[in-house]
Amino acid sequence: MPTFRYTTMGNNGSGSPVIDAPDRAAAIRELVRRGVTPTKIEVVSDNSSSASTMPSWASRSAEPSTNGRLNGSTTLVPKSPSAPPRASAAASTRLASSTSQDSAVTNSSSSFFARPAMSRAEVASFIRELSTAVQAGLPLIQGLRTIARQGRGINQKAMLNAVIEGVEQGKSLGDSMALQGRSFNELTVNLVRAGEASGKLGEVLQQAADLLDREIKLRRGILAATLYPMILAGLIAISVVIVVTVIVPNILKPLAGKIVKMPLPTQIVQAVASFVSGYWWAIIPVIAATLYIIITLYRTPGPRLWFDGFILRVPVLGRLMRDVAVGRFTRTLGTLVAAGIPAVAALRITKGTLGNRQMERVIDDVCDQVTSGKTIADPMEQSGLFPPMLVQIINLGERSGRLDQMLNQAANAFEDKTETSLKLFTTALPPILVVMLACVVGFIVLSILLPLLSAQEALG
């Protein structure tokens, strides 16, 4: 069994203790279990003079902070005393080039038979707990193991153990998360990578947790806002079907031989009732096939682009969709830029949070123009899809060098505007549905009254 020599913060290498283990990963696990935080570990071998150094991301060092107290700093990459707070150029290039690779890994890991992913709320809770552990000074692996043991399901523990195993084998935390498929999306993975590259993992994890919490709050707000209108629309549809297929035919049945030609509204209602009663077995397959065609067209680039552009032009719904996309875009872009991710890479990552192909196409144009040396604000202003306030804020942020701060401040205003749009949508939609129901009911009543009046005239 190999013997490993390790050093700690309080030991400069002379008289270093040793440990026996099958491999280096097992040695690290055993040391962490004993509560020892190694900074370097090397194989003791008679015929080998080279040392195998343990990556510094696997440990934490207690360094004196500027305010006189001990501050745990995650040494994810080798740091000099004057390490910049943002990601280095090499790390930035790696973040920008790994986007397509992570997407491929995610897609391959997200098959039907893949390990079940944690929900968005569970991921946010995990990220926040890990941020607390890292900022409290726990070693990264020890913090991950502690979180994995705390009241999680079997599948979640297996997934977190896979993350821990990846970190122990030499991968970064971001790369280990990326291998878990749907559990950690591209945005979270890139934020973690930025935190590792900048040496501010704890702070960036907290920003990622805040971003996920806001996303969850927004999704729940949209669901709460649309739940009542959807229930109301469903009840309206069921009521109309019952009235047309059951009530109206029974009322019009005694008049069948007394009127030579039924009025047009009555003929339409009778045709609908005959179709539903005669071909009820074909309705569900037709609806399913229609939904399948719509979904297929929606996933096609051309129809999806047209549909998203049409949605933005709908009076109430379009304003809501634009406000939701702009608020999410502003908060995410501000968080990524504050984490040290370059502007172009941050824009490409943030593009996926818009949920609208028309607006995503604008961001593609912005990335192309920024790469050629132009500003972010100009192509966004020319598109007309983003509010002038956001364009001005980005313009001022680029000129002043405070883009991340100004975006995060503006995100609060846009999120408040999103809540206002949600309230407007929930206030306007029920009356619209009631008016539609009134029109349908009025048409049905007209189809009943007209033959009654015609029969009365014939008898009178």
DSSP code string of 152-186: --HHHHHHHHHHHHHHHTT--HHHHHHTTGGGS-H
Domain match, 242 and 350 both: yes
**Parallel, antiparallel, or unpaired for β 40-44 and 60-64?**
unpaired
Q: Cβ distance 214 to 320 under 8 Å?
A: no
Domain match, 251 and 144 both: no
Question: pLDDT, tens digit, for every residue of 240-291?
Answer: 888 888 888 887 777 766 666 778 888 888 888 888 877 878 888 988 999 9
Domain match, 255 and 398 both: yes
The answer for residues whose C-beta is within 8 angstroms of residue 22's C-beta and 6 or more apart is 1, 2
Domain stops at, among 374, 390, 408? 408
- Domain presence at residue 446: no
Q: How many domains does the chain have?
A: 3
pLDDT at 11: 56
Dist. CA 83–CA 266, nearest whole Å:
81
Question: pLDDT, tens digit, for every residue of 201-251?
Answer: 888 888 888 888 888 887 887 787 778 778 888 888 888 888 888 888 887
Candidates 183, 171, 215, 197; CA nearest to 105 is 183
Dist. CA 89–CA 346, nearest whole Å:
14
- Measured in degrees and rounded to the nearest 5, phi and psi for residue 72 equal -70, 125
Domain match, 191 and 135 both: yes
Domain match, 227 and 368 both: yes
| Per-residue pLDDT band at 458 (split at 50, 70, 90) | low
Dist. CA 385–CA 375, nearest whole Å:
17
Question: pLDDT, tens digit, for every residue of 118-174?
Answer: 778 888 888 888 888 888 888 888 888 888 877 567 777 788 888 888 888 888 888
Domain match, 283 and 353 both: yes
- Domain presence at residue 16: yes
- Domain presence at residue 298: yes
- pTM higher than 0.85 for the full model? no
- Domain presence at residue 95: yes
Domain stops at, among 199, 230, 253? 199
For range 364-374, the mean pLDDT: 84
Of the chain, the percentage scoring pLDDT greater than 70 comes to: 77
pLDDT of 88 above 50: no
What does each C-alpha distance from 144 to 126, 127, 132, 230, 356 come to in angstroms? 9, 10, 11, 42, 36
Domain stops at, among 369, 390, 408? 408
Kindly report the CATH number assigned to the domain that includes residue 193: 1.20.81.30
- Domain presence at residue 429: no
Domain match, 374 and 280 both: yes
Domain match, 278 and 399 both: yes
Domain match, 317 and 347 both: yes
The answer for residues whose C-beta is within 8 angstroms of residue 204's C-beta and 6 or more apart is 191, 192, 194, 195, 198, 339
| Per-residue pLDDT band at 366 (split at 50, 70, 90) | confident
Dist. CA 98–CA 190, nearest whole Å:
9
pLDDT of 1 above 80: no
Domain match, 295 and 395 both: yes
Domain match, 296 and 388 both: yes
The answer for residues whose C-beta is within 8 angstroms of residue 76's C-beta and 6 or more apart is 56, 57, 172, 173, 195, 196, 197, 199, 201
- Measured in degrees and rounded to the nearest 5, phi and psi for residue 98 equal -90, 0
- Domain presence at residue 459: no
Dist. CA 444–CA 438, nearest whole Å:
10
pLDDT at 259: 67
- Domain presence at residue 385: yes
Q: How many CB atoms lie within 10 A of CB 104?
A: 9
Dist. CA 91–CA 339, nearest whole Å:
12
Dist. CA 438–CA 183, nearest whole Å:
46
Q: Show the domain range for 125.
A: 89-199
pLDDT at 76: 33
Domain match, 185 and 251 both: no
| Per-residue pLDDT band at 92 (split at 50, 70, 90) | very low
pLDDT of 25 above 80: no
- Domain presence at residue 204: no
Question: pLDDT, tens digit, for every residue of 70-86?
Answer: 333 333 333 333 333 33
pLDDT of 292 above 90: yes
For range 363-391, the mean pLDDT: 84
